[in-house]
Structure 1
Amino acid sequence: MVRWSELVCNMVDSVDKVRFGNSGTEAVMMAIRLARGLSGKDMVLKTDGCYHGSYDPVVFPSDATGISKGNLSESIIVPYNDKAAAEKAIVENKDRLAAVIVEGAMGAAGMIPPRDGYLEFLCQVTKDNGIMFILDEVISLRLAWGGVQSIYKIKPDLTAMAKIIGGGYPVGAIGGREDLMQMFSPEIRKVYHAGTLNANPITATAGVATMEQLNADVINYINQLGESFADGVRAVFKRLNIKGQVTGMGSLQNIHFHDQPVINGKAAREANKDLMHLFYLAMLERGCFSAARGLYVMSTPMKQGEIDTAVKAVGDVMTGLKPTIEKLWPELIGPAPEA
């Protein structure tokens, strides 16, 4: 476990110490618990569409059944990539806010990147108002050596991590500044964190094996594959005059069919789901497996040949679907909207 901790801390500059759990949900839960424990405040601000696992105060969608009204009343939701809305909510509620939490890049909503200095702004405005800034890098940590926070040169107070650090085994981790993380220590125990399978030896072994092979060159390689895929798919949409969009960063790319730019959760939800379903099934028939929502993920065994095959499949599928689009969804014929 010590070696595993060292590898994670060496990767992420803002992480002085780390504690392990068994899922991204647990990582988010402990980050919010720490923020509440240190601040004495209960409210959390999150952005519409960002996915932070199944922890009630930040679950998405916020109207999901089984969530108590008490939990909902402790959350403030603002649009993603909207600095003005975030600042207004933070300033007006700073005496009640324990933390602001946001994904490094919007994952489950459709791989939507931050725009126009959004993360940098949130990092600064939370600091100015004495509110803890939690960056959820459960999905986005794979996008750069050091996570998305290294791309935008920010230092969140706390970082939630999972997925790649566990080598495919159940894992979650919270990391941050030493003065914050020491509040979990048995000597102080201001905030409680325990679990039978936390940092269990099987996951730790897989995590060490994975992290010892992970480096900037590996990440750059799969990011290049992802960008090649995105460029190829955009070229298909342009050639066929179809309003398809590809959003994402590096090795994570998401396809959308929408006549408006997909820059936040609302726009992603309004994209054409029926066409996406047809596209998904047709791509499966050609041996290309993605998430049903249109997410394509690049991995280290892949080569450029697989990317070329996938782009060709997109071209074949969209050529076949174009008559249906013209008949059922004529609003999707034309140049893709620019964000």
Structure 2
Amino acid sequence: MNLPGERVHHLFDAPQGGEVVRLNEKASVYHKNHGWMTPAEARQRIDGWRDHCAAQGVAGGNADKIVLSLFDKSGAWSRPWEEAGYQVYRFDIQENPETGDVNKFSAGFFSDWFGDFDGLDIYAILAACPCTDFAVSGARHFAAKDVDGRTVASVQLVHQTLRLIEYYRPVIWAIENPVGRIERLGGLPPWRLSFDPFHVGDTYTKKTLIWGRFNADLPVAPVYPVEGSKMHRMYGGSSLATKNARSVTPEGFAYSFFMANNAGDHPQMAISSKYDRLCSRLIGAAVKAGLSSSEVDDLVEDAYFIDLDDEAAEQRLRDDLTAHGAVLDSYADTGGQLAMWL
């Protein structure tokens, strides 16, 4: 059982050391052992990830889960979730100034426009926040932007994103940006994942960081970055069109991120994050015993969300597991007494 002082959500916890992943390290290990993948081999791996998404979509098990994708003109990051059968809602002010303006988000906004998604779970919130005022590639313009208000406006978008995350408390959330100052100015927890597109099948470099609560141990498809830093070479300039081209999420990353974070392949992560005030080891025992997400919901949802009684929620899980023959482990508490931790 978690201690009384731990009865708070863990939505914005900083990642522990073992949870921080640098895909460059995974890609380097792969390259050392196998060499670079050819583009065709990487394409085959990404296609396999796509097929996995499509199979989940056909199965239909994700239709009751919502994904909100912010600043998503291209739809690239959220496309795997859509193909896997999640209900994906994309928001971008360029596509719809009324519903795509993140600054208009509020509880009433989602109730009025989307009926609060019929009460379905918000499984994921993905946000590729505009990076122009944060990325170190534009550092020479920081002073002017700090004075004229552009930086403040960009920080406000980050804060609105964090408000949305705290309001819905999704299983996973992720904010993407190139290396820069978004973490410091936006008040984000430390980043959890770093990657370049060539780690996941796209043959160019663009070091990118991801902040949030998610599984950062992504599968890789390392290719030689023959195109180098193509984004500023091919899409340099300050026009909206070139900014949009630079901001498109790499396809390989989008599918790799899905593979590491979807509910079907990672049930313990999905349930533990939904009920993140409960003992994660207890959730693990429930998953190991074969309880589905909906069965766990039936046992603990009312106690957890309505009564805010975490001890009662955990007790219901323990009682159910014991009734089905599970053997619960124990630990010695600070007073030296043996107590059930599951």
Q: TM-score normalized by structure 2?
A: 0.32
Q: TM-score normalized by structure 1?
A: 0.33
